[in-house]
Amino acid sequence: MRVRLVILGSIACLHACGGGSDEQAPVGVPPPPAPLQLTLDAANYQGAVRSALEWSDAAFWFAKLGAHVADRMVSTAAVLPPVFRCPVSGTASVTLTDRNRNGMLNAGDTFSLFLDRCVTDVVSVSGVMRIEVTSAEPIGDGRAYQLLVHIEDFSMSSNSYVDVPSTEINLSASLDFSHATDFDHYVLTFGEFRRTVAGQTQSVSNLVIDYLQRYDTLLYDYLLQGTLGSLGNSGEFRVSTPLSLTGSIGSYPNVGRLGLNGAANSTARVSEEGAAASNSAAVLVSVDSNGDGVADSEVPELAWSQLLPASTFSSLRGRSYQGLLPIP
């Protein structure tokens, strides 16, 4: 098993900054306003924790979708001509930059999937998924990948009688993904994750997720760090896991700590300590709104189910994309 690939205390951006220039900034063009910072307090901290966990899970889910597609295509004997058909209606087409012209997805190749109102079940999907393969090497009875995943204007809407809000996703992320019989390991660094649900846009920047599941011990280890916020008026805040969330696959964490940092030295924490340490279904949540080290509000045993669904920690191999993409 390889060493963990990322230390969350130091994030490397996906896109390097440009060099210097002698050009002058246009006269009369003001700089963009600084993002509004959220001050965590007794009224909003639980909602901020809930948003941090839910947004991170959604970002991970869509990046994992790209890894899943790449793994399927690499494992396929030949992807040209690929067979992608929308079972109900709409169109799906692909392009492959096949650098060594072997008809397969290999290192150095780029695979693009174009969807136009493609209905595979009850969900209509339009948009583009592009996967660049940096490396794809066998390891033991599995494989290790380095990928770049881009999802552009990926819009989803329901065709069923159930009223499900329309969603649009834009994402760019680098992935180190390895799997074998006894483990799945994802290390994701997001350059962008933007999600619009029913007209409300949420954004995540500089997000890193390191998620390991071991099937020999049936345990997981989950870390995240990033800046989360809305493009509306709710404000931004930082989130990190100084102590990774760990537990049994399919269950909520029984060890770990998640910290939030907002404006005015405000902080919040979610941790398995105190009474919650012996209650596998609960977690301690608290907020210090002025940074004096004294909690202004605290719930010693808040049900994990009020913060995120248990599916976040279910088996990574059990979370199916069937019905979303026309994957052969």
With a CB cutoff of 8 Å and minimum separation 6, the contacts of 157 are 123, 124, 164, 166, 167
First to last CA, the chain: 30
Q: Considering only 79-88, 190-199, 204-213, 307-316, which range has the smallest mean pLDDT? A: 79-88
Phi/psi-derived region of residue 145, left when phi > 0, alpha when psi is between -120 and 50, beta in every other case? beta
Amino acid 34: pLDDT: 59
* Beta bridge partners of residue 209, listed in sequence order: 188, 224
Rg (CA), the chain: 21
- Judge contact between 161 and 170, C-beta under 8 A: no
User: For 219-267, what is each residue's pLDDT tens digit?
Assistant: 999 999 998 875 445 688 999 999 999 999 999 999 999 999 999 999 9
Asked if the model's pLDDT at residue 302 lies above 90, the reply is: yes
| pLDDT tens readout for residues 70-117 | 888 776 655 555 567 888 899 998 888 877 777 677 788 898 999 999
> For residue 44, what pLDDT is reported?
92
Q: State percent of the chain over pLDDT 90.
A: 51
Q: What amino acid occupies position 180?
A: A
Tokens of 149: 């995943």
Q: How far apart are CA 184 and CA 142, in angstroms?
A: 10
Question: Which DSSP category does 23 fall into?
Answer: P
Which parts of the chain are beta strand (E)? 89-97, 110-119, 123-139, 142-158, 167-180, 183-197, 200-214, 219-230, 236-248, 255-261, 267-271, 282-288, 297-303
**What is the three-class DSSP state of 210?**
strand
Q: Please state, rounded to an integer, the average pLDDT across all residues of the chain.
A: 83
Half-sphere exposure of 241 (CA within 13 A, CB side): 24
Instruction: Please check the confidence at residue 33 and state whether its pLDDT lies above 60.
Output: no
The SS3 assignment for 161 reads coil
Segments of 35-74 assigned E as strands = none
Average pLDDT over residues 40-61: 91
Provide the pLDDT for residue 328: 61
- Is residue 265 within 8 A of residue 290, CB to CB? The reply is yes
318 CB neighbour count, 10 Å cutoff: 9
pLDDT at 317: 86
Per-residue pLDDT at 216 exceeds 90 = yes
Model confidence pLDDT, tens digit, residues 8-29: 444 344 333 444 445 555 556 6
Q: What is the pLDDT of residue 85?
A: 82
Please answer whether residues 251 and 242 qualify as being in contact, where contact means their C-beta atoms are separated by less than 8 angstroms.
no
DSSP state letter for 4: P
Q: Give me the pLDDT at residue 311, please.
A: 84
Give me the pLDDT at residue 7, please: 40
